[in-house]
């Protein structure tokens, strides 16, 4: 570490440990993260607005069946198709196929589905009749089916984060980035990348400043989705430039042919088999599952409170836009902190930051919401509702900031101790099944209370039990990080 500091100087070693000759690779890769996060933020912002405020009989209760019943199986199917595409066409062509699909869907939604939802969706009266005639546990699944275009947008928005960022970007990054560059590059990729989130959040908030004019807001939504599709095309152009320029470098794996050779074929179910036969991979698998469940339990109550505080899609758009900007700002600042932690502290310490932040601040949020449910009206001179809203935004944005700058990089670094075959097969299973499985499991827990045990109940009615489950999950997450950190140190020495 001391030689590295001498090489860059104390200040540059902390804030910008990048050699000038490395900028030709670092800047394009960071800009690709910028484009991917811009699309992801736009899609995620709009999917929540559609489900919470646009959908007929919509609300936060619809998110659980969407994630648990629709997103999880869809993601597994897409994972199988992704593995098949990589095996048949290679990772290079797969990138173009996948990103083109999303770009075309965004255009289809903006110009065909969204303008005609009143014609293609079921009416409120039809859905009410179905709810009255079918079993109670289907009470929130029926609106998901009735608002199928919004549900489809929600599913693919969730899938974009897994496929475009976790699978395609980080897979590409692992092959284009040398081992000597990883510790210095990975957290800093978010430095420019988080500006995409900031810009997307700013646009989401800006389109909401229409003074109650819902028609103008709808036009702005179409424009925003169109911009997202154009950004997808820009991402493909940038990918082509980077892959052509750097795939021939020494110590960089050949990205153009990866997956086309028979010996490099990666089967999805082979990855599942390897995953559950390795204690090390199981511990890595627990990390995204714990994050998914913990954040789902927290965000269920938090977004339910956002829905309570909003009266129209315009109000929700403003709050979600502000939340995205807060997330971007925290991520920007935490990028430097994360880089310092990754280079100065152990893997275990870096991996423990995210669950510790979520557990400590999330506990305060739940206590505040519970205080309000017990009849409290004010907190430090502010109304309970407003205090809970802003604290929830801080918890959500700060936790996601630490995820992007520490959780994702440490999880990616953990794979480096594995042999190439185990990494190639196991990583896909962990990222796709673990990432989606965590959210799916969180959604199933939510459905157990709102659809099965107490059909038709509201999510906020179960704040207390969610609080208890939230604490249990976060503590389990911390224990897994601790054990995995010990194994990582042992494997690194080997």
SS (H, E, C) the chain: CHHHHHHHCHHHHHHCCCCHHHHHHHHHHHHHHHHHHHHHHHHHHHHHHHHHHHCCCCCHHHHHHHHHHHHHHHHHHHHHHHHHHHHHHHHHHHHHHHHHHHHHHHHHHHHHHHHHHHHHCCCHHHHHHHHHHCCHHHCCHHHHHHCHHHHHHHHHHHHHHHHHHHHHHHHHHHHHCCHHHHHHHCCCHHHHHHHHHHHHHHHHHHHCCCCCCHHHHHHHHHHHHHHHHHHHHHHHHHHHHHHHHHCCCCCCCCCCCCCCCHHHCCCHHHHHHHHCCCHHHHHHHHHHHHHHHHHHHHHHHHHHHHHHHCCCHHHHHHHHHHHHHHHHHHHHHHHHHHHHHHHHCCHHHHHHHHHHHHHHHHHHHHHHHHHHHCCCCEECCEEHHHHHHHHHHHHHHHHHHHHHHHHHHHHHHHHHHCCHHHHHHHHHHHHHHHHHHHHHHHHHHHHHHHHHHCCCCCHHHHHHHHHHHHHHHHHHHHHHHHHHHHHHHHHHHC
In this prediction, residue 262 has a pLDDT band, given cuts at 50, 70 and 90, of: very low
Kindly tell me if the per-residue pLDDT of 365 is higher than 90: yes
Work out the pLDDT band at 267, boundaries 50, 70, 90. Answer: low
Per the model's pLDDT, the better-predicted residue between 118 and 72 turns out to be 118
Query: Picking from 93-107, 179-193, 256-270, 469-483, which range would have the lowest pLDDT averaged per residue?
Result: 256-270
Taking residues 115-131, what's their average pLDDT?
94
Compute the distance between CA of residue 305 and CA of residue 388 in angstroms, rounded to an integer.
8
Q: Does the pLDDT of residue 174 top 80, yes or no?
A: no
Residue 51: which of 407, 303, 414, 336 has the closest Cα? 303
Q: Is the pLDDT of residue 253 over 70?
A: no
Banded model confidence at residue 393, pLDDT cuts 50, 70, 90: very high
Which tens digits make up the pLDDT trace of 45-84? 999 999 998 999 988 899 989 888 887 778 778 777 877 8
Of residues 402, 410, 405, 397, the one with CA closest to residue 328: 397
Out of 46-50, 86-90, 252-256, 270-274, least confident range:
252-256
Task: Say which residue, 360 or 183, is predicted with more confidence.
Answer: 360
Instruction: Average the pLDDT over each of 17-31, 71-85, 106-120, 201-215 and give the range with the smallest value.
Output: 71-85
Name the least confident of 26-40, 99-113, 332-346, 357-371.
332-346
Highest mean pLDDT of the ranges 234-248, 355-369, 379-393, 449-463: 355-369
Quick check: 199 pLDDT over 60? yes
Q: Residue-wise over 355-375: b if at least 16 C-beta within 10 A, else e?
A: bebbbebbbebbebbebbeee
pLDDT at 105: 95
pLDDT at 258: 46
Q: 1 pLDDT exceeds 50?
A: no
- Residue range 166-195: mean pLDDT, rounded: 76
| Beta-carbon contacts of residue 383 (< 8 Å; ≥ 6 apart) | 377
| Residue 271 pLDDT greater than 70, yes or no | no
- What is the average pLDDT score of the chain? 84
Architecture (CATH level 2) of domain 22-253+260-493: Up-down Bundle (1.20)
Percent of the chain with pLDDT over 90: 39
Mean pLDDT of 255-282: 60
Closest CA to 280 of 441, 79, 480: 480
**Greater confidence, 263 or 450?**
450
Would you state the pLDDT for residue 323?
Answer: 93
pLDDT at 415 over 80: yes
Measured from the Cβ of residue 486, the count of other Cβ atoms closer than 10 Å reads 12
Query: Rounded to an integer, what distance in angstroms lies between the CA atom of residue 19 and that of residue 27?
Result: 12
Question: Distance between CA atoms of 256 and 272, rounded to whole angstroms?
Answer: 25
Question: Domain segments of the chain: what residues?
Answer: 22-253+260-493
Of 89-98, 257-266, 377-386, the range with the highest mean pLDDT is: 89-98
Whether residue 427 contacts residue 174, with contact meaning beta carbons closer than 8 Å, is answered with no
Tell me the average pLDDT across 300-306: 90
Question: Considering only 237-241, 340-344, 370-374, 377-381, which range has the smallest mean pLDDT?
Answer: 377-381
**CA distance linking residue 41 with residue 397, whole number of Å:** 12
pLDDT class of 85 with cuts at 50, 70, 90: confident
Q: Band of the pLDDT at 120, cuts 50, 70, 90?
A: very high
Tell me the residue length of the chain: 494
- Res 369: pLDDT: 87
Q: Which residues have a Cβ under 8 Å from the Cβ of 493 and sit 6 or more positions away?
A: none
pLDDT score of 493: 77
């Amino acid at each position: 570490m001391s030689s590295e500091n001498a090489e860059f100087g104390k200040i540059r070693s902390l804030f910008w440990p990048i050699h000038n000759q490395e900028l030709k690779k670092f800047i394009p890769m960071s800009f690709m993260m910028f484009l991917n996060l811009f699309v992801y933020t736009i899609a995620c912002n709009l999917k929540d607005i559609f489900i919470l405020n646009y959908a007929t009989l919509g609300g936060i209760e619809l998110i659980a069946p969407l994630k648990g019943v629709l997103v999880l199986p869809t993601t597994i199917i897409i994972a199988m198709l992704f593995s098949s595409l990589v095996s048949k066409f290679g990772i290079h062509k797969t990138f173009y196929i996948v990103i083109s699909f999303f770009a075309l869907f965004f255009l289809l939604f903006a110009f065909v589905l969204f303008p005609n939802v009143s014609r293609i969706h079921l009416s409120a009266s039809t859905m009410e009749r179905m709810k009255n005639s079918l079993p109670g546990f289907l009470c929130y699944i029926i609106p998901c089916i009735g608002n199928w275009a919004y549900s489809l947008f929600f599913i693919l928005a969730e899938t974009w984060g897994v496929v475009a960022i976790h699978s395609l970007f980080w897979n590409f990054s692992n092959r284009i980035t040398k081992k000597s560059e990883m510790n210095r590059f990975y957290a800093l990729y978010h430095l420019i990348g988080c500006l995409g989130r900031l810009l997307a959040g700013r646009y989401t908030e800006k389109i909401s400043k229409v003074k109650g004019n819902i028609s103008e807001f709808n036009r702005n939504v179409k424009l925003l989705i169109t911009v997202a599709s154009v950004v997808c095309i820009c991402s493909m152009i940038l990918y082509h430039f980077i892959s052509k320029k750097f795939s021939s470098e020494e110590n960089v794996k050949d990205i153009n042919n990866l997956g086309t050779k028979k010996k490099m074929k990666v089967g999805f179910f082979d990855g599942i088999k390897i995953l559950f036969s390795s204690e090390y991979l199981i511990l890595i698998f627990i990390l995204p599952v714990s994050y998914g469940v913990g954040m789902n339990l927290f965000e269920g109550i938090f977004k339910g409170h956002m829905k309570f505080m909003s009266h129209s899609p315009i109000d929700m758009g403003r709050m979600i836009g502000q939340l995205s900007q807060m997330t971007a700002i925290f991520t920007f600042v935490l990028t430097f902190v994360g880089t310092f932690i990754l280079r100065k502290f152990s893997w275990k310490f870096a991996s423990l930051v995210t669950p510790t932040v979520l557990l400590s601040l999330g506990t305060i949020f739940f206590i505040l919401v519970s205080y309000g449910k017990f009849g409290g009206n004010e907190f430090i001179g502010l109304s309970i509702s407003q205090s809970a809203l802003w604290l929830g935004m801080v918890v959500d944005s700060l936790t996601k900031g630490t995820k992007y700058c520490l959780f994702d990089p440490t999880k990616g670094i953990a794979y480096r101790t594995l042999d190439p075959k185990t990494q190639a097969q196991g990583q896909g299973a962990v990222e796709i099944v673990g990432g989606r499985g965590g959210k799916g499991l969180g959604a199933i827990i939510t459905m157990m209370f709102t659809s099965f045990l107490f059909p038709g109940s509201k999510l906020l009615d179960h704040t207390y039990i969610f609080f208890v489950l939230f604490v249990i999950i976060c503590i389990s997450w911390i224990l897994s990080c601790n054990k995995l950190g010990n194994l990582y140190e042992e494997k690194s020495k080997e």
